[in-house]
Chain A
Amino acid sequence: AQSVTQLGSHVSVSEGALVLLRCNYSSSVPPYLFWYVQYPNQGLQLLLKYTTGATLVKGINGFEAEFKKSETSFHLTKPSAHMSDAAEYFCAVSGTGGGNKLTFGTGTQLKVEL
């Protein structure tokens, strides 16, 4: 079984400030981890993913995330927030056991203020 917990359903930052969105996972097998972004009334777009190898993963739009096995975490960061980053962000996990079934967190709504 696998699960994802996203701490903070709403996060607000000032433009230019650090963005930190938290994700903790539970998985009985080595996980694959994903971050997706969703703009209002649209589908999801992949920001980045961790499968194997380097634990610091860089994605699109300046986002990155670090896989920390000891902490079962995969937090998403961006050094400087932009107004266009305002959206909902979802962390997801799938197991290495096959099937590519994603389990999503409940999402974090990011607000960027001037």
Chain B
Amino acid sequence: DGGITQSPKYLFRKEGQNVTLSCEQNLNHDAMYWYRQDPGQGLRLIYYSQIVNDFQKGDIAEGYSVSREKKESFPLTVTSAQKNPTAFYLCASSIDLVGGAEQFFGPGTRLTVL
């Protein structure tokens, strides 16, 4: 079955540590996205990528970094510069970046900073 996988489902981090969240898709989609979800705030775009080796900042990119070395993979690193990293992180993909293309979402990773 095609879809998006995110790992791990739950992640705990100590303050000052970097942590990397995994996102893999087998839908053969060109575009991939990372969102952050906080209670009562909806989803906010962190980074997005149209093709391999290319990515763009979203609305809240500070304290995060990404890479896109393979079409199917788009890992997100939450750095120690992110002041409030505890949140639910969702990865998504779409066939391309043309407006109106459906975004398919993974199951999410819940990050908690201790």
Interface size on A, residues (CB 8 A): 27
B107's partner among A32, A42, A97, A101 (CB-CB below 8 A) is: A42
B54 interface contact, C-beta 8 A:
no
Nearest chain A residue, comparing its CB with the CB of B9:
A41
| CB-CB contacts below 8 Å: A26-42 with B | 32, 34, 36, 41-42
Interface size on B, residues (CB 8 A): 28
Contact B98 A98 (CB under 8 A): yes
| CB-CB contacts below 8 Å: B88-114 with A | 88, 90, 92, 94, 96-108, 110
Which chain B residues border A32 with CB–CB below 8 Å? 99-100
State in angstroms the CA–CA spacing of A96 and B99 once bound together: 5
Contact B97 A104 (CB under 8 A): no
Contact B42 A106 (CB under 8 A): yes
State in angstroms the CA–CA spacing of A48 and B59 once bound together: 25
State in angstroms the CA–CA spacing of A49 and B103 once bound together: 11
Which chain B residues border A95 with CB–CB below 8 Å? 99
Contact B99 A90 (CB under 8 A): no
State in angstroms the CA–CA spacing of A100 and B99 once bound together: 4
B105's partner among A9, A45, A51 (CB-CB below 8 A) is: A45
Give the interface SS of chain A, mostly helix, strand, loop or mixed. Answer: loop
Contact A101 B48 (CB under 8 A): yes
| CB-CB contacts below 8 Å: B18-70 with A | 31, 40-45, 48, 58
Which chain B residues border A9 with CB–CB below 8 Å? 40
Nearest chain A residue, comparing its CB with the CB of B105:
A43
Listed residue (A41, A45, A96, A98) with the most chain B CB atoms within 10 angstroms of its CB: A41
Contact B41 A101 (CB under 8 A): no
Contact B100 A44 (CB under 8 A): no
State in angstroms the CA–CA spacing of A88 and B97 once bound together: 26
Nearest chain B residue, comparing its CB with the CB of A106:
B42
B100's partner among A41, A49, A90, A105 (CB-CB below 8 A) is: A49
Which chain A residues border B101 with CB–CB below 8 Å? 100
In the complex where A100-B31, A104-B42 touch, is A43 in contact with B100 (Cβ < 8 A)?
no
Q: Which A residues lie at the B interface, using CB under 8 A?
A: 4, 9, 32, 34, 36, 41-46, 49, 51, 90, 94-102, 104-107
